[in-house]
Amino acid sequence: MIEAERQRALDAIGSEVAACTRCRLHETRTRSVPGEGSAATEVVFVGEGPGFNEDRQGRPFVGRAGGLLSKLLDTIGWTREDVFITNVVKCRPPDNRDPEADEIAACAPYLTRQIQALDPALIVTLGRFSMARFNPGARIGQVHGTLRAPNVDSGAPNALAYFMYHPAAALRDPSVEAASMRDMAGVPAALLEARKMRSASSPPVLAGDAPAADATAEAVNESVAAQSIELTSQTDLTDQLTLF
């Protein structure tokens, strides 16, 4: 999809989310929060759900957790506008309680469609609930800062998922904040890996070449799915890595 088509698809999803009544969270929201950012991006950040400020403004990560997310992005030379930022549930759970399983399930098609529209190379999850969508059963303390093929259908068949703590958790605990800094420093390397995997799994299609191409894609998918991917050299990539 070209950028204008992606933008149209995102806008259509945004309009549906604005009027959505698929789960009980619509009853208590002020505004739903579909997500925002670049329609041309290769990277999607997925948080948990809107909080107080997001619910008021209809925009993701605009409160204190959002301030920390912007600061973390700044450490790798990126801005919010370079990426797309959204959430697992698009309406605020009352009193910031955890989203419930049926609410996450009701809202999941919107996230999948956003990811399909953007077809990102890299999905960065923020917190347990977002991690659980792409890596069910994993423990955040073990997988933060690691990269793997999502083991659910994310909507982007060639995307890799990278796991981070939620910025709100980092605000509560300096050791989690330090880990978040280190994990964010690994994002550019994760994007390079994800790009490599995409170019390996979608070789140019040449006449008469289809079976070989399929075999390559399968081999890559299998090796990628087998275990989390080693990230080498996390430092000094920032300068080399422009998002577009």
| Residue 25 binding ligand SF4, by CB under 6 A | yes
To ligand SF4, the closest distance from the beta carbon of 99 in angstroms equals 8
Q: What angle do CA 87, 49, 175 make, to 5 degrees?
A: 95
Residue 91 touches which member of ligand URA, ligand SF4, none, C-beta under 5-8 Å by kind: ligand SF4
To ligand SF4, the closest distance from the beta carbon of 80 in angstroms equals 21
| Residue 120 binding ligand URA, by CB under 6 A | no
Buried-state track 171-185, b at ≥16 Cβ within 10 A, e below 16: beeeebbebbeebbb
Q: What is the C-alpha separation between 83 and 64, in angstroms, rounded? A: 19
Q: Which of 14, 34, 37, 47 binds ligand URA (CB under 6 A)?
A: 47
Residue 37 or 50: the one with the smaller Cβ distance to ligand URA is: 50
Contacts by 16-23, CB closer than 8 A, 24 or more apart = 16/110, 17/90, 17/110, 20/90, 20/91, 20/110, 22/106, 22/107, 23/89, 23/91, 23/102, 23/103, 23/106, 23/107
Q: With CB under 6 A as the contact rule, which of the stretches 42-50, 76-84, 143-151, 197-205 interacts with ligand URA?
A: 42-50
- Please provide residue 139's backbone torsions phi and psi, each rounded to the nearest 5 degrees: -110, 130
Residue 61 touches which member of ligand SF4, ligand URA, none, C-beta under 5-8 Å by kind: ligand URA
Q: What is the C-alpha separation between 21 and 24, in angstroms, rounded? A: 7
Instruction: Return the amino acid letter for 145.
Output: G
Instruction: Return the amino acid letter for 21.
Output: T
| Residue 23 binding ligand SF4, by CB under 6 A | yes
| Residue 13 binding ligand SF4, by CB under 6 A | no
| Residue 155 binding ligand URA, by CB under 6 A | no
Q: With CB under 6 A as the contact rule, which of the stretches 21-29, 121-129, 155-163, 209-217 interacts with ligand SF4?
A: 21-29
Residue 31 touches which member of ligand SF4, ligand URA, none, C-beta under 5-8 Å by kind: none
208 in the Ramachandran plot: left (φ > 0), alpha (ψ -120 to 50) or beta?
left
Q: What is the C-alpha separation between 122 and 146, in angstroms, rounded? A: 12
| Residue 37 binding ligand URA, by CB under 6 A | no
Residue 6 or 90: the one with the smaller Cβ distance to ligand SF4 is: 90
Residue 89 or 121: the one with the smaller Cβ distance to ligand SF4 is: 89
H or E element at residue 52: helix 52-57
| Residue 106 binding ligand SF4, by CB under 6 A | yes
Name the residues that contact ligand SF4, by CB under 6 A.
17, 20-23, 25-26, 32, 89-91, 103, 106-107
